[in-house]
A and B are shown apart, each in its own frame.
Chain A
């Protein structure tokens, strides 16, 4: 009885996941027929003319997420090294709990901070480069960097703590200083785990919608050639009102679903890679 129910509900849940993937693949069908590979390589999106090219959105997503990771990774790794290697156990737990608590700040709250504070700051700081407004790819990148920072810190800390204490003791016994032990023993041994931490953070950054939506400028048809320009990401396009407009027109809706499919593949691949790297049992 328990067993049957367990199987039934589990299969239901897995079927829902499969349906999710299937729906995006199936509903995006029309646009693949209409545009072919040009859907991924095309740079122009004019839905009234039935012209759909997703390249600016794909590049926008990748650029914004990479900017975020480039800023968050060094700071986050440094913080993780300090928390894992220097702090005594009790305060380490306290700081880690604080960081995990802060990882839960909702994205709409980050968006609010971005729109009311960060946007003006970016505009004033980079005024000599003549940005049109504070809504830029860079603004979204900075905001995302702060958002993924707790994830980087806590996962990298886990990776460092997974290095056995005997390794540290052996290194110190050989006469290495603390910094040398960390640099040439702990960090190399935690390489896989740190790589996984960065990949999972990248996945989060790629999939973040609301905060990016509020500060990225949502300018269509702009390839992200300069960071101080407005842009569009896969998620900000999907989060916009065009999703409501598009339902009814199979081709236009197909194009929107295609964006969802691309987003699924991108984040799915990055997350899958990250969790395979991080856990040998997964």
Chain B
């Protein structure tokens, strides 16, 4: 009786795991199968024509890369500063706990909230209109907590004896920060940024009011009134009225490209995350 119950319990758990993985892998498979026919060189080198029914997604790809690069550059100094504040400058201060709580809570804020905030501050108050810079800054805000948390964990993993040895050699605190703590933690910054960028690449809500339009933009040459085309917004608009089969194939193709971009960003972060997992699960 107990043996039978043991078996049933294990089977139910196994079935749940299979079902969950099947659903998730299944949807990736659906996108890959439907998107594959659209893949060819001209899909990546031409601009869209006939409201997405013809041509390629060159400028959408370029626009997404511009936004991601901007977000990465804007996010990095703040992530380093916040991580150092948490790990070093607030080492034994009660405010450190509040900083952590703020980071975790900010990490859970919905991306649409950042989008509307960017709309008020950059688009309206700064008078930029839709601009690549506004979109990049909004994405930077939304990924900042993720990057900071990963970096904090990596700095926390630097062995205490390194810091003690450096202090014993008479290094000042700022020298210890750059020669020991950060020197050991650049990988964490990269991993965190890749994870943050993987999420930012697929975000539509933060950029739809601030940075992106559906057609008619190429490379931005100014800050104000310089929107870009992006992959997620392209899918978002076409998905809402996609009765033309020609649009359909391009649409799935765009989704496949976006998925590929997101997966390669998170796969690039994988090796170092795997190492952390291994270390923490011995």
Contact = CB atoms under 8 A, between A and B. Distances in A.
Interface of A: 1-3, 5-10, 12-14, 16-17, 19-20, 23-24, 27, 74-79, 81-83, 85-86, 89, 93, 95-102, 104-113, 115-117, 146, 149-150, 153, 161, 177-180, 182-183, 200, 203-204, 206-210, 214, 235, 238-239, 243-244, 247, 256-257, 260, 263-264, 267-268, 270-272, 274-276, 279, 281-282
B224 interface: no
A254 to B, nearest CB: 12
Nearest to A149: B20
A177 to B, nearest CB: 4
A207 B110 contact: yes
Given A10-B82, A13-B81, A243-B116, A208 B110 contact: yes
Interface string B220-255: 000000000000100110011010000010011001
A104 B239 contact: no
- Nearest 6 interchain pairs by C-beta: A106-B202, A78-B16, A207-B110, A271-B108, A179-B9, A9-B81
Interface stretch (B27-35, B38-46, B162-170, B183-191): B27-35
Q: Main secondary structure on chain A at its contact with chain B?
A: helix
A107 B101 CA distance: 26
B15 interface: yes
Given A89-B281, A214-B239, 20 more contacts: A13-B144, A24-B116, A81-B16, A82-B13, A101-B266, A106-B232, A109-B255, A109-B258, A109-B259, A116-B239, A146-B23, A178-B9, A179-B10, A210-B236, A235-B112, A235-B205, A239-B112, A239-B208, A244-B209, A260-B112
Nearest to B124: A247
Contact of B10 (A150, A178, A257): A178
A2 B117 contact: no
Interface residues of B, number: 90
A1 B174 contact: yes
Interface of B: 2-3, 5-6, 8-10, 12-17, 19-21, 23-25, 27-28, 30-31, 77-78, 80-82, 84-85, 88-89, 97, 100-102, 104-114, 116-117, 119-121, 124, 141, 144, 173-174, 177-178, 198-199, 201-205, 208-209, 232, 235-236, 239-240, 242, 248, 251-252, 255, 258-259, 262-263, 266-267, 270, 273-274, 277-278, 281
Nearest to B177: A2
B203 A106 contact: yes
Contact of B274 (A7, A97, A99, A117): A97
B111 A150 contact: no
Contacts, number: 260
A210 B230 CA distance: 15
Given A8-B81, A111-B239, A178-B6, A106 B20 contact: no
Given A7-B85, A115-B240, A239-B208, A93 B110 contact: no
A239 B108 contact: no
Contacts of B9: 178-179, 182-183
A207 B89 contact: no
30 contacts: A2-B174, A5-B81, A6-B88, A17-B106, A23-B120, A78-B12, A78-B15, A79-B13, A97-B273, A102-B28, A104-B198, A106-B259, A111-B235, A116-B242, A149-B24, A179-B5, A180-B6, A203-B108, A210-B232, A235-B110, A243-B116, A243-B209, A264-B109, A264-B110, A268-B105, A268-B109, A271-B107, A272-B105, A281-B100, A282-B104
A136 to B, nearest CB: 17
Contacts of B248: 116
A3 B80 CA distance: 11
A146 B105 contact: no
Given A95-B21, A178-B6, A238-B116, A267 B236 contact: no
A110 to B, nearest CB: 8
